[in-house]
Structure 1
Amino acid sequence: MRFTYECALRWSDLDAYGHVNNARFLTLYEEARVALMFVGARQAGVTSMEDGIVVSRHEVDYLRPVDYGDPVRIELWIEELRTAHFTVAYELYDGELIASRARSVLVPYDLVKRRPRRLSAAEHDFLKPWLKT
């Protein structure tokens, strides 16, 4: 199952060539990820993800430029789900065309103790339906 997020583009997303700046793709992916893991999780009664999830790796493939215009659509899913980390995979669509693919490895993190932690059972159960097998 995929989570779908529509994201409006902003003038500040553009580079000198009038395309969405390559670094801004990570911001767009972050917005979609936050919508699932914070907003969606909170609606499901899981608030612990807001207490600490950090990115340990990003990987982005840029397939075509994205111009300012209509909102882009980001589809994401969980590619791998482990006890101490998980991988989110994304596709960013400009209209019906895939403009970018990406992956982020995320680590549950205890911000108070300043160290990685394991996913709670509730977090694991929340993420599991998004796992693409």
Structure 2
Amino acid sequence: MDAHQTITCEIPMRWGDMDAYGHINNVEVARLLEEARIHAFGPPGGTGGLGEDPPVALFSSVDQGVQALVVEHRIKYTATLDYRNIPLKIEVWIGQVKPASLAISYRIHDPVTGRICVKAETVLAFVDGTSGALLRITDRQKAQLAPYVGAPVFG
């Protein structure tokens, strides 16, 4: 992997995330990715209460009325992810920055074996919440993300 920084998140698995086979259900993986994304880049402004500052305050520092919307998810399961009563290790970084969107890359590791069980990517765009207009990624946002930009997980 190239020399960019990654953000490692520890996200708890929930008993209810498990399917009948003892694996984390595929639908719950999308929720785990969302938790990692918010842990890494902060909750959208005006949501929730005060908490710890994220490593990169990308979502919590946008102007009022700006929404970060999911454009696409891509998830590849490389091994079963068994339920464990300890947090998952999820690596997060920016796989690509385009003029009006960014791709967040993830790897979910089994917390006991360290094996990569899931590779995923979420493409996001910023939108004006009133007009619905697509917004360009700002120079400030590019600078915030620069240390975390690396090869896409599906590169």
One fold, TM greater than 0.5?
A: yes
What TM-score comes out, normalization by structure 1 length? 0.89
Question: Percent of aligned positions with the same letter in both sequences?
Answer: 29
What CA RMSD, in Å, does the superposition of the two structures yield over aligned residues?
Answer: 1.9
What TM-score comes out, normalization by structure 2 length? 0.77
Deviates more, 1:107-116 or 1:80-89: 107-116
In the alignment, does 2:96 pair up with 1:80? yes
CA deviation profile, 1:13-52 (whole Å, cap 9, x unmatched): 111222100011111111111112213333x8x6107831
Tell me what 2:62 maps to.
48
The one-letter code matched in structure 2 to 1:92 is I
CA contact 1:85–1:105 (8 Å) conserved in 2: yes
CA contact 1:49–1:123 (8 Å) conserved in 2: no
Tell me what 2:48 maps to.
none
CA contact 2:7–2:55 (8 Å) conserved in 1: no
CA contact 1:86–1:106 (8 Å) conserved in 2: yes
Separation in structure 1 between the aligned mates of residue 63 and residue 20 of structure 2, nearest angstrom: 36
More strand by share: 1
Tell me what 2:47 maps to.
none
Tell me what 2:105 maps to.
89
Tell me what 2:132 maps to.
114
Tell me what 1:66 maps to.
81
Aligned residues: 131
Return closer, same or farther for 1:130/1:20 CA change in 2, 3 Å cut-off.
Answer: same
**Equivalent of 1:105, from 98, 118, 123?**
123
Structure 2: gaps of 5 or more residues: 43-53
| CA-CA distance at 1:121 after TM superposition | 2.2
**Equivalent of 1:17, from 12, 21, 26?**
21
Return closer, same or farther for 1:49/1:105 CA change in 2, 3 Å cut-off.
Answer: farther
CA deviation profile, 1:68-123 (whole Å, cap 9, x unmatched): 21211000111111220111111000031101101111111111222211122222
